[in-house]
Chain A
């Protein structure tokens, strides 16, 4: 009987601080992320938040696609990132009609591969 009580006490002593430790780690991580956020300029923070608002309106499968794209983006070589940025600038300059036309061309091209 005494042995059982002792075992319970020991188990409790080991297990009890685990949530507290996890909380501490989460808090540390949160602080680290908060610091990174604070280091961003107000313009960057504004851009990021506006884009997040667009992102959260996407359906879950599109959100997942964006997250996958980002994973790929992170590993792209700099030159390739520059190429995509340049292409985005060209895309941005298009009129709404041109964008729609490009979208149609893209879908047709994708379907025909």
Chain B
């Protein structure tokens, strides 16, 4: 059963994960997370998504692809086709970018299908892709498999609990099983007396520096 994410928190959680929240806000969100199962689940979900996006394989063009593409474009684009309204400075770049994307997609598709040579279809992509180097023909499935493996590893890492095993309750130390809250609050509980007197100690030091120590201090706890 999935617990709902608090409506007011959903956007703040992403900012929190990106480290964009100032410290008082972080404290407030952490306090909220300590009590809200839905938001904790959301944090885990977003963390997984971020890990998956990071693991997406990058499409790498072959060596010299850019140079060949520009050369072909310069050679193949007849000056006559440039009409009156054509504005290379405005339209050229997006069109070339789109053409490059189409060419890369085509190249990638053919690599995936294991074809030896990319053929230009009748309609043709905007840019004809230069023949690939023979060395890359055999490596395409390997690259594909490697990317797949990387993605699987990232997914496994994202779903793996961030600690060394054991995870099964029967393998856990009895103190931990009995008082999990103690160990969740451990950083604060361990320094509790110092934290209780934190402001007081700082005030005392300030007063010392100013040389105007006031009434005797009474520690808490």
Contact between chains at A66 and B184 (CB < 8 Å): no
Contact between chains at B195 and A91 (CB < 8 Å): yes
Q: In whole Å, how far is B198's beta carbon from the nearest beta carbon of chain A?
A: 4
* Chain B facing A: main interface SS: helix
Option from A41, A72, A92, A110 in Cβ contact (under 8 Å) with B44: A41
Within 8 A of A (CB), among B163-221: 163, 167, 169-170, 172-173, 175-202, 204-205, 216-219, 221
Chain B interface: which of A5-13, A16-24, A80-88? A80-88
Q: In whole Å, how far is A49's beta carbon from the nearest beta carbon of chain B?
A: 5
Residues of A within 8 A of B194 (CB): 91, 102, 106
Contact between chains at B197 and A106 (CB < 8 Å): yes
Within 8 A of B (CB), among A3-43: 30, 33-34, 36-38, 40-43
**Which of A34, A37, A74, A87 counts the most chain B CB atoms within 10 A?**
A87
Contact between chains at A41 and B193 (CB < 8 Å): no
Size of chain A's interface in residues, with CB distance under 8 A? 47
B26 at the interface (CB under 8 A from A): yes
Q: In whole Å, how far is A104's beta carbon from the nearest beta carbon of chain B?
A: 10
Residues of B within 8 A of A84 (CB): 188, 192, 195-196
Binding site for A on B (CB under 8 A): 23-24, 26-27, 30-31, 37, 40-41, 43-44, 161-163, 167, 169-170, 172-173, 175-202, 204-205, 216-219, 221
- Top 10 A-B residue pairs of the complex, sorted by shortest distance between their CB atoms: A34-B169, A51-B186, A46-B163, A48-B183, A87-B198, A42-B161, A69-B192, A46-B162, A51-B183, A87-B195
Can you sample 21 A-B contacts with CB below 8 Å?
Answer: A34-B170, A37-B172, A43-B161, A44-B184, A46-B162, A48-B176, A48-B180, A48-B184, A49-B172, A52-B176, A52-B186, A54-B186, A55-B183, A69-B193, A72-B221, A73-B185, A87-B199, A89-B27, A109-B197, A109-B200, A109-B219
